Homo-oligomer: A and B are copies of this chain.
Amino acid sequence: MSTDTSTASSNLLTLNVALGERSYPIVIGPGLIGDGERLAASLAGRQVMVVTNDSVAEHYLERLTSSLPDSLEVRTLILPDGEVHKTFASVERIWDALLEAGFNRRSSLVALGGGVIGDMVGFAAACYQRGIDFIQVPTTLLSQVDSSVGGKTGVNHPLGKNMIGAFWQPRAVLIDTDALTTLPSRELSSGLAEVIKYGLIHDQCFLEWLEREMSGLRELNTELLARAIERSCAIKAEIVAADETEQGVRALLNLGHTFGHAIEAYMGYGRWLHGEAVAVGMVMAADLSQRLGWIDAAAVERTRRIIAAAGLPVEAPAEMSVDDFLARMKLDKKNLDSRLRLVLIRSIGAACVHDEAPLEMLKSCIAEFPRR
């Protein structure tokens, strides 16, 4: 596992997302939520609004706000927790609060929470007065390794997940590994799905490391977690720097997501965690890759085993028919002019985008996939 893109400074690891004038640092380590001086150093103006949800607020909001310098004008906004609240109504509450506070174009938002908070706060920042700064302080493993990095922001629509949003990069990502100590184990597993994804699409050595260290990761060994987060973010940063707005290679980050989004949409957002749906989706993508003759049964089984070892589901919902999947896969943003494009596995550690899997093969893959 390479760490040569990072620098250490007192327990902290720092990566850079290279996007020209929109470049920003990712800082990883313990104690960052209480490091208000570091956060303040990323602010352009003196008005800052910290947005979080009720669950995260209980543990971390006071720790963050009390550490901020007195020179700042600090407001807080607490939204209800959960993917079902990843809606326009929530984003409008942020805009209302900013306007009521009289916050101007140089004000900043801070997203303190998981992916739902990060995506919504990022989108609120992208569109408030045509764009203000924001800082990601992700508190779940899923958001630390995935959604907080790369600038994808947005909300769900009844007809599709993340259908409304913007590309808007944060000014900094501060990943406090201490936050994982209060994370429910189901949420931890959901984050591990994305960690495993990076191994599958880009780094076979990292996947092998994950296979060895999975039990330590699930037991919250913070040093192992920091290394897993660092490697995941480094891979994501490399891919985002190469293709910020997903014209090409960035699509590889969606391994398992087309199947996964169909599961989330059918089951109703929030009942399956995002990582759980993506986990099953990755096994389905491996299955389809085998049907195309790219990988063998052992590679599919290896994919299934590491996902199961992370405490994640490897079977699709019993109630979903082939048509239930297909209807929801067609609307996925990755499908250009109605051709169904899927991220598949070329070999363990290398993914590709493919749009020529025969429809009958896809149907068989879904129909014959294990259910629970």
The residues of A with any CB-CB pair to B shorter than 8 Å are 45-47, 88, 92, 95-96, 99-100, 102, 104-106, 123, 126-131, 152-154, 157, 159-160, 162-167, 245, 330-331, 333-338
Contacts and interface: CB of A to CB of B under 8 A. Distances in A.
Given A127-B166, A154-B130, A163-B129, A46 B88 contact: no
A67 B167 CA distance: 34
Nearest to A102: B331
A337 B99 contact: no
A88 B333 CA distance: 22
A131 B166 contact: yes
23 contacts: A45-B336, A45-B337, A95-B157, A96-B157, A99-B157, A99-B331, A102-B331, A104-B333, A104-B336, A104-B338, A106-B337, A127-B164, A127-B166, A128-B163, A128-B164, A129-B163, A129-B165, A130-B152, A130-B154, A130-B165, A130-B245, A130-B333, A131-B167
A330 B102 contact: yes
B331 A160 contact: no
Given A45-B337, A131-B245, A338-B104, A99 B167 contact: no
Contacts of A127: 123, 127, 154, 164-166
Identical subunits present: 2
A102 to B, nearest CB: 6
A98 to B, nearest CB: 9
Nearest to A105: B333
A47 B336 CA distance: 10
Contacts of A100: 159
A156 to B, nearest CB: 11
Contacts of A105: 333-334, 336
Given A99-B159, A130-B245, 5 more contacts: A104-B333, A104-B336, A104-B338, A130-B162, A131-B167
Contacts of A245: 130-131
A160 B337 contact: no
A340 B89 CA distance: 31
A335 B166 CA distance: 25
A333 B284 CA distance: 49
Given A95-B157, A99-B157, A99-B331, A106 B336 contact: yes
Nearest to A335: B104
Nearest to A330: B102
Contacts of A154: 127, 130
A108 B233 CA distance: 33
A129 to B, nearest CB: 5
A338 B126 CA distance: 21
Contacts of A336: 45, 104-106
Contacts of A123: 127
Contact of A88 (B88, B106, B160, B162): B88
Nearest to A46: B337
A128 B163 CA distance: 6
A337 B100 CA distance: 15
Contacts of A167: 130-131
A174 B157 CA distance: 32
A333 B129 contact: yes
Contacts of A162: 130
A355 to B, nearest CB: 13
Contact of A104 (B153, B157, B337): B337
